[in-house]
Structure 1
Amino acid sequence: MRPSQRYGTEGGDSALSETADRSAERNNRVIREIADRVIPHQAEFAEGLLASIITDMPSVVPDREYRDMLRVSVIENTMVLLDALRANVDPVSISPPPGAVTYARGLARRGVSLADLLRIYRVGQAQFTGICLDVADGLDEANDLRAVKTVIDTVATYLDHVCECITVDFEEERERWIHSRSGLKQHWISRLLAGTVADTAEAQRAIGYPLSGTHLAVDAWIIADRAQVTASVEVLDRFHDLLTTAAARASTVSVHTDEAAMTIWVSLREPERNLIARLKALLDADPLPVQVATGLPGDGVDGFRCSYDQAARVRKLAESARPGPPQILTFADVAPVAMMTGDVAELRYFVGATLGPLSADTERAHELRETLRVYLACNRSPAAASERMMLHRNTVTYRVQQASEELGGTPEGVDQFTVSAALEVCRWYGSSVLCAPP
């Protein structure tokens, strides 16, 4: 080969290399621009994903603590992924963020399936990819399909990698949980609640509790500083002792649902009201920072499960109630409202259509709603309502008059059944069914 030919070839290779470098640089610039445009939408994306998961997969967000844990996991995963896109980092080299690991291990201890956990990531992948494509659509170089494809591939590779790592953490935690004494008990109780136990006798032996009797589920949770885990465990253990005393040494079985909450089943030998009365007296004498919710008594395995579901509904109402509930709240206390659980949007529509301006989420509207609610509950007696609310009778009369005018009528003309139902919904569901202030 002649020197001129050799040099010409090398010059061509150099030109190709420079072209490739410029192409790669432009590709990375477009990817960074896409990531930068997603950043302002991080919070909106996280809340949207959280809302869809709560609606479609309630088992992975059993309570407020797990909702917060999921939010942290979503936010941390989003931040890590955006950083990887901006810095052109190999996603396989990244460890799962701490919040994702904590949430996965928590679900493992709750008996949630691995399939449900991985489904969260698939839903997140679809929604995150969608928002990346949305912001890329407005770029000058959006027609650079190579950059868009790289973004999609990076998102998929990162989530595949995280799912592999999370699966290992989840299965190891599940194995530790099942082989621990409390974990084994909770494993069987989770199966009882899911209706997947074929041999009731085997489950009964495993949890050390008779399943053939009448059961009352009792939820108890800390209402003080949840950060003091050691103190929380001691408080819950003390509550368990008080409940056992109130139950006159009847059989019980309990599981800690997290560091600051537990569920206890009591095998009843007497009317529920007797047990509740004794428990209330014991808590009055030995105040504990706990809130208590109970279901209705139920027979057999179905009753075991049904009473638990009812107690869980009551707990949700207790946590959103305004004003706050009594320390012990039973399903019988709130049965009509508790059975309305499901479609909060439908309840919000009912409240707005029934109460009009009184459905506003303001302090003034709250005062009028609560006064009218108590007034109607007291058979429209201002004297009885003032005594219950510890207000002057004239104050009650004035507020009732104002509330009635907001409803477009007089105190005597209020439709007691419909209005009372709407007011009770407001009382127990709080801001979730109220309208934003005008």
Structure 2
Amino acid sequence: MQGIAVVLAERHRELTDQLVQAFGDRIPELPSDPVLVDLLHGSAGSNLENLAHLLRGHMRATQIRAPAAAVEYARRLAQRGTSPSALLRAYRLGQQLILAWAVEEVAARVPDPVLAMRTNNLLTQTSFEYVDAVSEEVIGAYQSERERWLANRSAVQRETVEALLRDERLDLAAAESSLGYRLRQHHLGLVLWTAPGAGDLTAAERAVGVVAERLGAGHALFVPRDRETAWAWVPIGRSGQVDASVVDAILAGVSDQVSVAIGSPAAGEPGFRGTHQGAAAAQEVAQLGQLPAGSVLTYEDPTVRAAALLARDLPVTRDLVRRALGTLAEDTEGAARLRETLLAFVQERESYVATAARVHLHKNTVKYRVDRAVEARGRPLTEERLDLELALIACKWLAPEVLVRASGG
């Protein structure tokens, strides 16, 4: 069993990646946003490291404790309202997959069938002891955090908000009373988040208050999602008209620690859902694109809407980028400049003058860059024009996920 423990310790990164992938594929209830996936990765990896220590005899079964990363992940699930059964399923599935891997390793390394059977039995017993102890501790942490979270008014608001977003049949008057917010009006949905470790959501809540004040709106609804993320709705009256560029400017000046995604204005209870869905889609684009803290995206931007659709199937989008752009898809500063100019040129209906004004370059510089971009692509602009524009949009917003590593890089 010592040999299996050594291999487990050596390959724990690879096995962690496999576990996280399996959890995402087979437990859809687990949150899929990048922050929670990172926490899940830390939880799975630290559990594997602890299991390797146990198998090597570095600790006794009575000394088993849940890793800090596993406890934090359980607490964050409690804040999100994810069912604890999903967390338990992850531990059971993880045990199943690691045991299956271990049995294959034993078969390859232990020729004696009797010794192999004894080793497998011991691995099974030890893994059950570990999962039993750790799962009990993380469920305890989950329940404590859930009780604390639900004790806050914000959690009550969040439960009502989530019911509305699920389109459950609710008494609107009761829902408005719980929220302290009118649903029968036009809304502007926001998703706000801070950089990891940046502190609480005070700056995010202040940003929402500034927006509501500057727009002359009524009381905004601010609902913490977890320690780093909040949802908000700003009332914008009966007209539903709002200058998104003004909102961008306001939010950009509030805090460089708060990133904001803005939905499209919409009316009534359906609009409450719709404007939030747009903001959430814009947030996903921002996080996949690894935009810096303090970024502001609006779903009103058609390129953001397109990027949100492209983000739903990243393998297909990566293939589109490679096919449509050729070497123009390489992750270099030079290629980035050419892509930026070419996208503006395509969107400005191939006008050198309009493109020059948009990107603040001389017309001749624009022409030079466009010519170089077409050369790098290896095909004229007229060939598969739609694929070209979508690929450029994907590179603009989802660069870390879709660009090609430059040759020799």
TM-score (norm 2): 0.88
Query: Match of 2:402?
Result: 433
- Report whether the alignment pairs 1:178 with 2:150: yes
Counterpart CA distance in 2 for 1:366 and 1:312 is 26
Counterpart CA distance in 2 for 1:228 and 1:191 is 29
Once the two structures are aligned, what percentage of the paired residues are identical?
29
* 1:313–1:341 contact (8 Å) kept in structure 2: no
Query: Match of 1:408?
Result: 378
- The 5 Å alignment of 1:147-226 reads 147-196=119-168, 198-222=170-194, 226=196
Q: How many Å apart are 1:338 and its aligned residue?
A: 2.1
- Stretches of structure 1 lacking an aligned partner (at least 5 in a row): 1-30
Counterpart CA distance in 1 for 2:311 and 2:52 is 38
* 1:374–1:385 contact (8 Å) kept in structure 2: yes
Q: How many Å apart are 1:134 and its aligned residue?
A: 2.9
* 1:318–1:325 contact (8 Å) kept in structure 2: no
Query: Match of 1:71?
Result: 41
Counterpart CA distance in 1 for 2:25 and 2:337 is 32
Counterpart CA distance in 2 for 1:311 and 1:292 is 8
**Deviation digits for residues 97-122 of structure 1, max 9, x if unmatched?**
11111110111011111111112212
Counterpart CA distance in 2 for 1:161 and 1:285 is 48
CA 1:326/1:228 → structure 2, altered by over 3 Å: closer, same or farther? closer
* 2:257–2:293 contact (8 Å) kept in structure 1: no
- Report whether the alignment pairs 1:80 with 2:50: yes
Query: Match of 1:339?
Result: 309
Larger helix percent: 1
* 1:362–1:437 contact (8 Å) kept in structure 2: yes
Counterpart CA distance in 2 for 1:400 and 1:326 is 31
- The 5 Å alignment of 1:38-437 reads 38-57=8-27, 59-87=29-57, 89-91=59-61, 93-141=63-111, 143=113, 144=115, 145-196=117-168, 198-222=170-194, 226-229=196-199, 232-271=200-239, 273-274=241-242, 276-283=244-251, 288-321=256-289, 327-333=295-301, 334-411=304-381, 413-437=382-406
Return 281-290 or 146-155, whichever deviates more: 281-290
**Deviation digits for residues 284-310 of structure 1, max 9, x if unmatched?**
665654332112233443332232222
CA 1:128/1:176 → structure 2, altered by over 3 Å: closer, same or farther? same
* 1:323–1:427 contact (8 Å) kept in structure 2: no
Q: How many Å apart are 1:46 and its aligned residue?
A: 1.1
- Stretches of structure 2 lacking an aligned partner (at least 5 in a row): none
Q: How many Å apart are 1:141 and its aligned residue?
A: 4.6
SS in 1 for 2:89: helix
CA 1:279/1:237 → structure 2, altered by over 3 Å: closer, same or farther? same
SS in 2 for 1:329: strand
**Deviation digits for residues 171-194 of structure 1, max 9, x if unmatched?**
222122112222222222233323
Q: How many Å apart are 1:361 and its aligned residue?
A: 3.0
* 2:261–2:283 contact (8 Å) kept in structure 1: yes
SS in 2 for 1:138: helix
Q: How many Å apart are 1:79 and its aligned residue?
A: 1.0
CA 1:323/1:427 → structure 2, altered by over 3 Å: closer, same or farther? farther
**Deviation digits for residues 194-229 of structure 1, max 9, x if unmatched?**
344544433322121222333321112235xx4231
Alpha-carbon RMSD: 2.7
Q: How many Å apart are 1:90 and its aligned residue?
A: 4.6
Return 378-387 or 310-319, whichever deviates more: 378-387
SS in 1 for 2:108: coil
Counterpart CA distance in 1 for 2:325 and 2:248 is 35
Counterpart CA distance in 2 for 1:266 and 1:272 is 11
CA 1:286/1:116 → structure 2, altered by over 3 Å: closer, same or farther? closer
CA 1:56/1:276 → structure 2, altered by over 3 Å: closer, same or farther? farther
Counterpart CA distance in 2 for 1:362 and 1:56 is 37
Q: How many Å apart are 1:55 and its aligned residue?
A: 4.4
- The 5 Å alignment of 1:14-53 reads 31-53=1-23
Q: How many Å apart are 1:235 and its aligned residue?
A: 1.8
Kindly provide the amino acid, as one letter, of the partner of residue 393 in structure 2: E
Q: How many Å apart are 1:419 and its aligned residue?
A: 1.0
CA 1:41/1:409 → structure 2, altered by over 3 Å: closer, same or farther? same
**Deviation digits for residues 340-367 of structure 1, max 9, x if unmatched?**
4421111112222222222233333323
CA 1:142/1:369 → structure 2, altered by over 3 Å: closer, same or farther? farther
* 2:320–2:387 contact (8 Å) kept in structure 1: no
Q: How many Å apart are 1:44 and its aligned residue?
A: 0.8
SS in 2 for 1:292: strand
TM-score (norm 1): 0.83
Counterpart CA distance in 2 for 1:285 and 1:361 is 30
CA 1:285/1:195 → structure 2, altered by over 3 Å: closer, same or farther? closer
SS in 2 for 1:332: coil
- How many residues align? The count is 403
Kindly provide the amino acid, as one letter, of the partner of residue 416 in structure 1: R
Kindly provide the amino acid, as one letter, of the partner of residue 205 in structure 1: S
Counterpart CA distance in 1 for 2:251 and 2:405 is 38
